[in-house]
Amino acid sequence: MSSVVPDNPPRSPEALLRQVFGYSEFRGRQREIIGHVAEGGHALVLMPTGGGKSLCYQIPALMSPGTTIVVSPLIALMRDQVEALTHNGVAAAVLNSSLDAETRRRTEDELLAGKLDLLYIAPERLLRESTLALLARCRINLFAIDEAHCVSQWGHDFRPEYLKLDVLAERFPAVPRIALTATADERTRGEIVGRLLGDDARIFVASFDRPNIRYSVGLKRNARQQLLAFIRRRHPGQSGIVYCFSRRKTEETAAWLVEQGLDAIAYHAGMESGDRQAAQDRFINADGLVICATIAFGMGIDKPDVRFVAHLDLPKSIESYYQETGRAGRDGLPADAWMVYSLADVVRIRQLLEQSNAGADQKKLERERLEALLAYCEHARCRRPALLGYFGEGHPGDCGHCDNCQDPPETWDATEAARMALSCVYRTGQRFGAGHVVDVLTGKRTERVEQLAHDRLSTWAIGRETDRNTWHSVMRQLLAAGYLVPDPEGHGGLRLGPECRDLLRGETRIEMRRDAVPSSRRSGSRKSVEIDTDSPLWQALRQWRLETARSEDVPPYVIFHDATLAAIVDTKPLTLDELATISGVGEHKLSRYGEAVLAALDAAAD
């Protein structure tokens, strides 16, 4: 294996960016981070998914002699990164449990001989004494710790082996370290710096905004039909991820989508490891496949052309939501983050939290995270200030690219309705679910109402002038705001929350969003990706890419991203020099694929 980067003369970051990766300019703080790390500094990099974190260590790896060791928690992520690098002419390899003995020995020999620019390794293998001894015999120029939020015991994806990575500072004190993540609140940032980097590390925080993603949140009415209508309207024939709460739901949803004529598969932790790997490989390599998955799927999935991420159930926190939706549109092209949820979702997550074995402090933190997500869901104005504000980033609002901006919801003074609902919960004994409380409020005589004599309560039928859908909306928003809490015993009942006293006394007021009436005509009905998929040039390039990827046994995006193909279609280059100016076409790919691309364009134009 040979690198495109000779020891001498050293190339500048700008030259490497253009010649190796095919990009003309850095984004955001990439150049500043690269300079700091190349000079030997430690760094924590917080950058959204698709923001270009990898370049922050890949370019420093190519700027100086030696090998960069990349710590990554997932085999699939390592494999994808290495395939992409080798297709750019970079000497990269993995060292993990998936290798046979001969391949592992050959990789170790190449490492010792200084033939590798980057080596990807799982934390468990890195921490073995034999591996640490091997690295001590090599010329290491940088340690890059990916998915660094895994170090946080307070975080949403804790990996205990990450706590032991402080051994890198002990055993290799002169080697700079860079930790990277797409999501970390202030507490998690402090843990990353303290455990992995040291107090002298610089923290680089890029904007968490993903302007290419359209965020939208709605209420469950018929979730499957809503999902199907969304896919058919905005993303027919495109790749997407559908997150479900349970394993069973992933299988049932995937099967139902297939019945409706879509290409869909399921993925969850209960599947055999071989089946999980096959499903993941198929999703990565296919165009237009929908994968229905639990949260077991996704971390480190390096597929740039995911055009939508849909949630059929409420995530457990705003951090989880941000990370999961961030898997859409990594290539910078328009994408959707679409979610529907219900009152039952809120009750279920709150109950699971209260029934967990976590300590009081941990439960309090998780409640705060869930409440931040619920506030985002019920937000009546531009969604970006509510989402980005959680990560300490301001946004002026009016993004024009979320459901609330494109179709602003109505709001109303719900103070009196809220007081009625809270009083009814109290009068009925704080042990019934929303359905029964709404029956009492609206004066609906049921066998249960009569059996319990709840038609004799002072709150009987006091809300008959308001329709049942509105009352269910009131109950949901009271639960979201913490004025109501679920029965900790898990029986589905609702109790008054500790914050409701002032509202009941009339000392505070509450404004609620009015739930939208379903409509077949929506302002966001256009397809989200501005590519003419019927264009003969697009079809020809896509077919060429697919055939090339199959022949090389790599995902299509490793050859070229959709964004690069779209730029080629738009510019219609006639020569290799013209093709070389397109973003994503580096020297290695130009040499390897340039003539074939021009031939495909020429054939399609005839």
Give residue limits of the domains in the chain: 13-205, 213-406, 411-513, 536-605
CA angle 71/73/77 to nearest 5° reads 90
The contacts of residue 273 (CB under 8 Å, 6+ apart) are none
What does pLDDT average to over the chain?
86
Average pLDDT in the 288-301 region? 81
Q: What is the CATH number of domain 213-406?
A: 3.40.50.300
DSSP lists the bridge partners of residue 243 as 293, 311
pLDDT for 524 equals 39
Identify the residue with better confidence: 489 or 315: 315
Residue 30 has pLDDT above 90, yes or no: yes
Place of tokens 């700008």: 14
* Confidence band for 517, pLDDT divided at 50, 70 and 90: low
Residue 378 has pLDDT above 70, yes or no: yes
Tens digit of pLDDT for each residue in 233-290?
A: 999 989 999 999 889 999 999 999 999 889 999 998 888 988 888 888 888 888 889 9
Average pLDDT in the 518-535 region? 50
Average pLDDT in the 581-604 region? 86
DSSP lists the bridge partners of residue 311 as 243, 339
Please identify, in words, the CATH class of the domain defined by 13-205. Answer: alpha beta
The CA distance from 398 to 232, in Å, is: 27
pLDDT for 198 equals 85
Domain formed by 536-605, architecture = Orthogonal Bundle (1.10)
Average pLDDT in the 69-77 region? 83
- Backbone CA torsion sign across 278, 280, 285, 291: positive
Give the per-residue SS3 of 530-595. Answer: CCCCCCHHHHHHHHHHHHHHHHHCCCHHHHCCHHHHHHHHHHCCCCHHHHHCCCCCCHHHHHHHHH
* Confidence band for 529, pLDDT divided at 50, 70 and 90: very low
Minimum mean pLDDT range among 42-51, 252-261, 461-470: 42-51
Contact 121, 94 (CB under 8 A): yes
Average pLDDT in the 351-377 region? 80
pLDDT for 526 equals 38
pLDDT for 521 equals 40
pLDDT for 497 equals 86
CA angle 166/167/172 to nearest 5° reads 110
pLDDT for 212 equals 92
The CA distance from 252 to 405, in Å, is: 34
The CA distance from 510 to 358, in Å, is: 32
Average pLDDT in the 369-387 region? 87
Residue 490 has pLDDT above 60, yes or no: no
Average pLDDT in the 189-216 region? 89
Query: Do 411-513 and 13-205 fall under one CATH topology?
Result: no
Average pLDDT in the 422-429 region? 93
Query: What is the DSSP code (8-state) at residue 496?
Result: E
Query: What is the DSSP code (8-state) at residue 150?
Result: G
The CA distance from 82 to 94, in Å, is: 7
Cis before residue 211, ω within 30 degrees of 0?
no
Identify the residue with better confidence: 482 or 257: 257
The CA distance from 586 to 390, in Å, is: 38
The DSSP string of 89-121 is: T--EEEESTTS-HHHHHHHHHHHHTT--SEEEE
Tens digit of pLDDT for each residue in 147-159?
A: 888 887 655 567 7
Average pLDDT in the 323-330 region? 89
Please identify, in words, the CATH class of the domain defined by 411-513. Answer: mainly alpha
Contact 292, 254 (CB under 8 A): yes
Query: What's the distance, Cα to Cα, between the start and end of the chain in Å?
Result: 40
**Which two three-digit tokens encode residue 254?**
């995937």
